[in-house]
Amino acid sequence: MLIAGDRRATMGHLIAQRDLEKVHPADDYTAVAFAGTVGLALDMVKLYQVELAHVEKIEGVAMTLDGKARRLAGMIRQNLGQAMQGLAVVPLLTGYDPSAPEGERGRIFSFDVAGGLYEKTDFHAEGSGSPYARGALKKLFRKGLDRREAALAALQALYDAADDDSATGGPDLNRRIYPIVSVITEDG
């Protein structure tokens, strides 16, 4: 399972930050990325990480991947009032499900601003540059990509998005700022 994200945060038409980390590990088998209001998104990611660790400590076992997705959907739903005022957070959740049948262990979940939960197959993109990224991924994705090929496909999709969307940041060679790519395997 692979998840990648650009590093640009915008404030209207201005670049607010060039090196924002939009991809975060949630636990050993799950990663979350986000688009939307940065302050709320970072707080949501931190709270989500703490909740997953807390449940594992209290219960003695990790939450299921479906449970993790539903919990994140609930957190988004709690933000609905602010989302209706324009302060939306739209995460993307990827996870490795060791209990799933072989070939179905990597899963992707997207959400709408009301906490609607949607499982995606193969690939997905979120954020203002997502139509361009999805267009690139439609051409580049195929079942069975190895880690290097998947990373190159994700980076090409981010590059295509950055080429057409001013709010998506491409690689910044002068500042040495590059997209973040995270891989989740059966080892975590």
Are 164 and 132 spatial neighbours (Cβ–Cβ below 8 Å)?
yes
Are 110 and 124 spatial neighbours (Cβ–Cβ below 8 Å)?
yes
When pLDDT is averaged across residues 56-68 and rounded to a whole number, the result is 92
Tell me what pLDDT residue 127 has. Answer: 94
For residue 51, give every residue at least 6 positions away whose Cβ sits within 8 Å of its Cβ, in sequence order, or none.
71
Residues, the chain, total?
Answer: 188
Distances (CA, A) of 164 to 16, 138, 175: 19, 17, 21
Q: What is the pLDDT confidence band of residue 62, given thresholds at 50, 70 and 90? A: confident
When pLDDT is averaged across residues 108-120 and rounded to a whole number, the result is 96
Instruction: Assess whether pLDDT exceeds 80 at residue 103.
Output: no
Instruction: Assess whether pLDDT exceeds 90 at residue 185.
Output: no
When pLDDT is averaged across residues 100-125 and rounded to a whole number, the result is 92
Q: Looking at the DSSP assignment, which residues form a beta bridge with residue 10?
A: 15
The model's pTM is: 0.92
Are 89 and 9 spatial neighbours (Cβ–Cβ below 8 Å)?
no
Rounded to whole angstroms, the Cα distance separating 118 from 126 reads: 12
Instruction: Assess whether pLDDT exceeds 90 at residue 104.
Output: no
The tens digit of pLDDT for each residue in 8-57 reads 999 999 999 999 999 999 999 999 999 999 999 999 999 999 999 999 99
pLDDT averaged over the chain?
Answer: 94
Q: What is the pLDDT confidence band of residue 102, given thresholds at 50, 70 and 90? A: confident
Are 126 and 35 spatial neighbours (Cβ–Cβ below 8 Å)?
yes
Distances (CA, A) of 85 to 65, 88, 113: 30, 8, 11
Residue that has been written with the tokens 């051409």 in this structure: 139
Tell me what pLDDT residue 166 has. Answer: 93
Residue that has been written with the tokens 């090409």 in this structure: 156
* Residue type for position 161: A
Give the other-Cβ count within 10 Å of 110's Cβ: 18
Query: Greatest CA span in the chain, whole angstroms?
Result: 48
When pLDDT is averaged across residues 83-111 and rounded to a whole number, the result is 91
